[in-house]
Amino acid sequence: MNNGFAFLNSFDINNLLTYVIAFGAAFVAALWIGLTLWVLRDIRSRTRDPFMIILSILFMIVLFIPGVFIYLFVRPRKTFEQKYQDAIEEEALLREIGVSEKCPSCGHSIQSDWILCPYCHTKVKKRCVNCGKAIELPWNLCPYCGEQQQKPFIEEKSS
Ligand SMILES: [Zn+2]
Ligand SMILES: [Zn+2]
């Protein structure tokens, strides 16, 4: 009876081990595929460089979990979305301090209320004849005070 129990137990344990190993293998395989897909998606949101993408995937496939950790360290820090957000924030900041614009002639940063570029002396804005605010050259109407501008800067082509 003791022997019978021992046989049954060892049989069960063997069976159980087989199941555990099978489940473990399936789990690891699923994790491996899942992580590979995750790395693929993650790297593609960070770079369009095909070399970087292939390298990251190979890294992940060969090294598995350590590869993921290394990938997390070496991947480009920012996703395209974060870069886009940063660009918007930077632009807003620049606008706040008044250097959002660039001279159309020489490309230097100029303040939005300047009417001349101090670098190349190009006329970039005109003053409203009524309120004196800097307005765009082609505008015939001041957006600040509504005053009609007597002399549009742009010479009408005689056609
Ligand atoms: Zn300029
Ligand atoms: Zn005005």
Q: What are the extents of the domains in the chain?
A: 2-74, 98-136
* Torsion 76-80-82-88 (CA) sign: positive
Neighbours of 42 (CB within 10 A): 18
135: which strand partners?
A: 126
Q: Encoding tokens for residue 79?
A: 């996703």
Q: Mapping DSSP to helix (H, G, I), strand (E, B) and coil, where does residue 132 land? A: coil
Interval between CA 155 and ligand 2 midpoint (Å): 21
Per-residue pLDDT of 124-137, as tens digits, reads: 999 998 998 999 98
CB 92 within 8 A of CB 84: no
Q: Which of 68, 75, 11, 63 is nearest to 37 (CA)?
A: 68
Interval between CA 140 and ligand 2 midpoint (Å): 11
Interval between CA 140 and ligand 1 midpoint (Å): 23
Interval between CA 86 and ligand 1 midpoint (Å): 27
Interval between CA 148 and ligand 2 midpoint (Å): 8
Per-residue pLDDT of 83-118, as tens digits, reads: 899 988 888 877 776 566 788 899 888 888 889 999
Identity at 63, one-letter amino acid code: L
The ligand placed nearest to the CA atom of residue 128 is: 2
Please give the average per-residue pLDDT across 24-51, as a whole number: 90
